[in-house]
Amino acid sequence: MKKLQLKAPAKVNYRLDVLGKRPDGYHDLRMLMQRVDLNDDIEIALSETPGVRVTCDGGGAPDGPGNIAWRAADALLQLSGKEVGIDITIAKHIPVGAGLGGGSSDAASVLMGVNELLELGLSDEKLMEIGVKLGADVPFFIFKRPALAEGIGNLLTALEQVPEVWVVLVNPGIHVSTGWVYQNLRLTNKNEPAKVSSSYAGLDEICAVLSNDLEPVTIGRYPRVGELKELLSAAGARGVLMSGSGSTVFGLFADEKTAKQAAAELAEEHGWFTAAVRSI
């Protein structure tokens, strides 16, 4: 039976503005989102035994129906009406509950992979419609470009120009609940949010736009996240920020050598998960 090997990349948020709470309980957001080349490895294989099976190797993500990748595959299998089986194996390299979008990226890769294997011919736009019902970040990974994300994260506009940069990711092993962060977010009457550009000429312009409205909530409960920002700055990062709802913090570096040196030193000194990666 046919199978595919896929890579599901992580993401960071260069900016995350919370504009207000919606009647449906979600929040209106404005985010600048960028994929990075830290990947989960996914194998999807068709089987003669009907149904969806997901095995997740390490990282703390669940097997079976509790995994968002299972729900993605099941959604397309039900849509297809075909009596086939889908076996999915995920090797986790992206930390779970870390603000890096690993689960959403897995789900997006599964949607695209199952669409190909079952020869459904669904457009990316249709896959994004299905994906947003699974998670607000899923459409971004199907979009496959640096993007301005609005609404709940599902309204995507491609950024015209974004330079490739080196990013050091540091995760202290703290699992942060996104739901908890939003529940504890205090929305004040902020001024109209600053305009963001669709084009960035270099690293300094990206560093100038770094901002995350969720950061004070997460740091208030997990001060270690604030300490990571200080350590990355001390290691030479030109800009530092918490990604998503945390607990991963990232630093932007001018070159590969400095980034890899900083990642190695932080890993050796503290034993945290660290990775020096490129934006993609």
CA distance readout (Å), 142 to 79, 194, 216? 18, 28, 30
**Catalytic site residue 11?**
yes
Catalytic residue among 40, 137, 213, 229: 137
Cα 221 to its chain centre, rounded Å, is 22
Contact 210, 14 (CB under 8 A): yes
Residue 68, helix vs strand vs coil: helix
Strands (E), the chain: 3-21, 27-47, 51-57, 85-91, 147-151, 155-158, 166-171, 211-212, 239-242, 249-253, 273-278
- The one-letter code for the residue type at 115 is N
Catalytic residue among 11, 40, 213, 229: 11
DSSP string, 196-238: --SB--SHHHHHHH-EETTHHHHHHH-HHHHHHHHHHHHTT-S
**Catalytic site residue 7?**
no
Could you list the active site residues? 11, 137
